[in-house]
Amino acid sequence: MRRLLFVDDDTDFLESNRLYFSRREYEVVCCDSPQEAISLLETARFDCIILDIDMPDMNGLEVCQRLRKSSGTPVIFLSGFSDLENRIASFRAGGDDFLAKPYDILELELRIEARIRKNEDVFYLEPLQFGKLIIDLDRQMILYDGKEGDFSALQFDLIAFFAQNPGKVFSYEQLYDQVWKEPIMKSRHNLQVAVATVRQKLSVLCEGKQYIRTVLRKGYCFMPENE
């Protein structure tokens, strides 16, 4: 089942879309605040995000800009302001489509379907496999001997980055740049905690095997084992 995220401060709008798309056999999640949406996007994956521009505290453009630091999920902007300036701003923020309010619900559905199909065509990647360990980049899943692991979105991105570059050593700075997409700032603590958590979870899933290894004074690397 494909998953949609609607973000809008209009609760009536959210409910009407939830009812319609649920009947169309989508899994629908609704957020009425930008901050709630950002928190959710740190741990959950969606096939398409439908995002209002004009919201209190933080507008939809800022939400999209944050999302684009780590995800290529299609974003369709909705706005009661259909002027050229808003349309241009939505695409510059990383949006894939723009629809002015009020709109026809069928047109929104068709645009959602088109964006999901295009995203699937463009971003399809073969799963990575190392013996019993499978990292499914498209379904955002990690399996070992058929058993699925429980990883957050950030944890999955970290494992996938390592696995796409087996044997290469990455420093703290490189991992921040490639996975977090932001400067390392003053402390490595967050990164160290994240890697330690990933290693522990991966070890439990993979029956004690250590795929991510520490390289003294250099960083970390992914070392696949022969099975």
Where do the domains of the chain lie?
3-123, 128-222
| Residue 11 to residue 209: CA distance in whole angstroms | 48
Q: Which residues of the chain have pLDDT under 70?
A: 120-125, 180-188, 226-227
Q: What is the pLDDT of residue 6?
A: 96
Q: What is the pLDDT of residue 80?
A: 82
Q: What is the pLDDT of residue 184?
A: 53
Residues 6+ positions from 114 with CB-CB distance below 8 Å:
none
Taking each helix axis from N to C end, the angle separating 60-67 and 84-92, rounded to the nearest 10 degrees, works out to 20
Q: What is the pLDDT of residue 101?
A: 87
Q: What is the pLDDT of residue 182?
A: 53
CB of 78 closer than 8 Å to CB of 111: no
What is the 3-state secondary structure of 76-144?
A: EEEECCCCHHHHHHHHHCCCCEEEECCCCHHHHHHHHHHHHHHHHHHHCCCCEEECCEEEECCCCEEEE
**What pLDDT, in 10s, does the model give residues 140-198?**
889 999 899 999 888 888 899 999 999 999 988 788 777 765 555 545 677 788 889 99
Residues 6+ positions from 8 with CB-CB distance below 8 Å:
14, 30, 32, 50, 51, 52, 55, 78
Instruction: For the domain made up of 3-123, give the CATH fold.
Output: Rossmann fold (3.40.50)
- What's this model's pTM, rounded to 2 decimal places? 0.55
Question: The domain at 128-222 falls in which architecture?
Answer: Orthogonal Bundle (1.10)
Distance of CA 51 to the CA centre of its chain: 15
